[in-house]
Structures are given as structure tokens and as C-alpha cells.
Amino acid sequence: GQQLNQSPQSMFIQEGEDVSMNCTSSSIFNTWLWYKQDPGEGPVLLIALYKAGELTSNGRLTAQFGITRKDSFLNISASIPSDVGIYFCAGFYSGGGADGLTFGKGTHLIIQP
Amino acid sequence: DGGITQSPKYLFRKEGQNVTLSCEQNLNHDAMYWYRQDPGQGLRLIYYSQIVNDFQKGDIAEGYSVSREKKESFPLTVTSAQKNPTAFYLCASSIRRQAFYGYTFGSGTRLTVV
């Protein structure tokens, strides 16, 4: 089946730093989604991308749909303590009978005081 | 407000016992999913259902069972056959055949075997 490689697995940063993470696949997707999971809670949708090359922002978050349709990137600018959590990418491909999302394993963001 | 509710938030089970996790949604979504989350392993799909009275095994269905008698409800039973049930369990829902809009997740149930 399709797999997503999400990196890095963990990030230890200082408050105020910018953050970059990415998701890659050997298969193409026609939708990319980014979720954030706070500790002990369920993931919440941050950004959805529907077109190759698309760049979308949500406050300090910016995500891009890779031009090859095989990757996506999420950037967080000027990190703050509430950015701590696990960030998941998810891809969707409508062909081949598949009808669900494929998730990456997550990037665990830790902000050091 | 529409949403998806999981209960209980914390659950303790003795070895050898079955336990059922509740998941209810009022979003009028046809599709519902159960995931298991362990540290460093991401989200692993246990079961999913696209319509009432129909469900499919995911990647790690062994030791679990589900039912889908109502559109709003998709309970998960962790049976005694599940050898390592301690984990965080997440339920999600989506519009059928429109998963590209994303899933809505519940707030999870943390199951601990004692």
C-alpha cells in the first residue's frame, strides 16, 4: 500500500525558532493534509492542500503541495510554547479504489525553555 | 455543535477481560474509523466502516471487533485475544468518498491493562 515518510521524527527547538518538516512518498497524491495533535487529545486539521504547487497559510503555519505530487512541507514561523505536539501529514489519492487517508508517523515538536 | 465523542477518556482493564470503547458522532458522516496510537508508531488503522452494517479490517484488526448498527455509533471491543492492548485509541469520521476533506477525530481513549 501507499506509505508516507515523515521527517524529522522529533524536533527539539528554542521558542521563537522557525520549524520545517516534510512528508514524502513514492506514490502520488491529489490531496495533502496536515494535522496537529496536542498531548492526550485527537488530531485537529490545520491545513488542506488540493493542487500541485499550492502554497497555503494558516497564521504562522505555511504548507506546500509539492510539484511532483509526491511530497508536502509544513513550516511554522516564530514558534511558541503552544506549538508543542505531534504533527501528522496525510495524503489522499482518489484513484485505484482507495477511499481513505494515508498518514505519516508524525513529527514530535518539543520546545525547550 | 457537531462533533465526535469518545468515552471514557481513561479505561483500565484486567488481563483476560473484554472491554468496549464508545464512539459517537453527530456530524452525519457515513464513514467511521478506529486507530491505535503507540509512541513513535503513528496512527495504525484497526477497522473502518463506510456505511451502516458494513465494516472492513484495517492493518491491525486481530484481537479487535466492531459493530456498526447505527450511523452515529461505531463501538470498538478490545478482546482478550489482543496481546498488547495498552494504547491510545482514536475514533474518526468523514464524509463517505470525500476523505479528501479530512477526518474529524475524537479526543481519544487511553486504555491501560492492569
Q: A44: which 3 cell numbers?
A: 485537529
Q: Which of A29, A31, A110 is nearest to A76 (CA)?
A: A110
Count of C-beta atoms within a 10 Å radius of residue A99? 17
> Which residues in B lie closer than 8 A to residue A88 (C-beta atoms)?
42-43
pLDDT of residue A97 exceeding 70, the answer is no
Q: Which of B79, B108, B106, B95 is nearest to B25 (CA)?
A: B106
B42·A31 Cβ contact <8 A: no
- Which residues are registered as beta bridge partners of B20? B77
C-alpha A33/C-alpha A72 separation (Å) is: 9
A42·B108 Cβ contact <8 A: yes
C-alpha B113/C-alpha B67 separation (Å) is: 23
CA B47 from centroid of its chain's CA atoms: 7
pLDDT of residue B48 exceeding 60, the answer is yes
C-alpha B13/C-alpha B21 separation (Å) is: 12
**Higher local confidence (pLDDT), B80 or B96:** B80
pLDDT in tens, A32-82: 999 999 999 999 999 999 999 999 999 999 999 999 999 999 999 999 999
Q: A21: which 3 cell numbers?
A: 518538516
CA distance A31 to chain B (A): 6
pLDDT band at A93 (very low <50, low <70, confident <90, very high): confident
Nearest CB to A92 within list B40, B96, B100? B100
Could you give phi then psi for residue B101, rounded to 5 degrees? -80, -10
